[in-house]
Copies of this chain bind each other. A is one copy, B any other.
Amino acid sequence: MISMQKLMLRYPTGKTALAGVDLKVEQGGFVYLIGESGAGKSSVLRTLYGDIAPSYGELHVQGMDMRTITTANLRQLRQRIGIIFQDHKLIFSRTVFENVALPLRVQGRDLNRLLPRVKKVLEFVGLSEHLWSYPEALSGGEQQRVAIARAMSSNPPLILADEPTGNLDVVTARHILDLLQALNKHGTTVIIATHDIHLLQSHAGKIVQLHQGAVVDTKAS
């Protein structure tokens, strides 16, 4: 499903964020990306959904070569990826409903199915009573859970989660991880960038450790 070979990434500022990353994720895999702050976790995820183009190396995502991908294909690819951004990227001028429904609208889903679907995913993350709130009126952790709900709303075959539990207490974090593992059981590939190593102990998965833009360790927890 995902294969990276000698992936290098240099930002316009000159910073080399990734210095030759080799990584293979099978369909249905459950992978943790760990590493110190600035190790390159977010950068790896960003290359996967084509937000930044790698400077050098091979990258295939769901069978598509990310170096030569056309705009139309990239769009299709993105519609099949659920992304939880590290900075959430909620739209503050729209309700929680609109935020969570956005991927469905983008994909042109049946408008009558929006509300039931959005309600269901918000229930998963424990925010069903905040359907018509604006993100501003939510606590930090609640905002993060809205972002998680949005990533799951269109039931994508690949979920990329960048620090999904950074603002959540242990109980809620466990619950979210349970949820992701349940999705994983049904075939969804999940890649989680996290620094919360205590989660790894309770929820098994393949662990890829990054350090200064390179993979230094790969193991199963």
Contacts and interface: CB of A to CB of B under 8 A. Distances in A.
A93 interface: no
A43 B142 CA distance: 13
Interface in A143-164: 145, 162-163
A95 to B, nearest CB: 12
Contacts of A13: 133, 137
A42 B141 CA distance: 10
Nearest to A41: B139
A141 B145 CA distance: 19
Contacts of A23: none
B167 A37 contact: yes
A111 interface: no
A185 B48 CA distance: 45
Interface stretch (A24-32, A62-70, A97-105, A169-177): A169-177
Interface of A: 11, 13, 15, 34-38, 42-43, 86-87, 133, 137, 139-142, 145, 162-163, 166-173, 195, 197-198
15 contacts: A11-B137, A34-B169, A36-B171, A37-B139, A37-B142, A37-B145, A37-B169, A37-B172, A38-B139, A42-B139, A43-B139, A86-B140, A140-B163, A140-B166, A167-B195
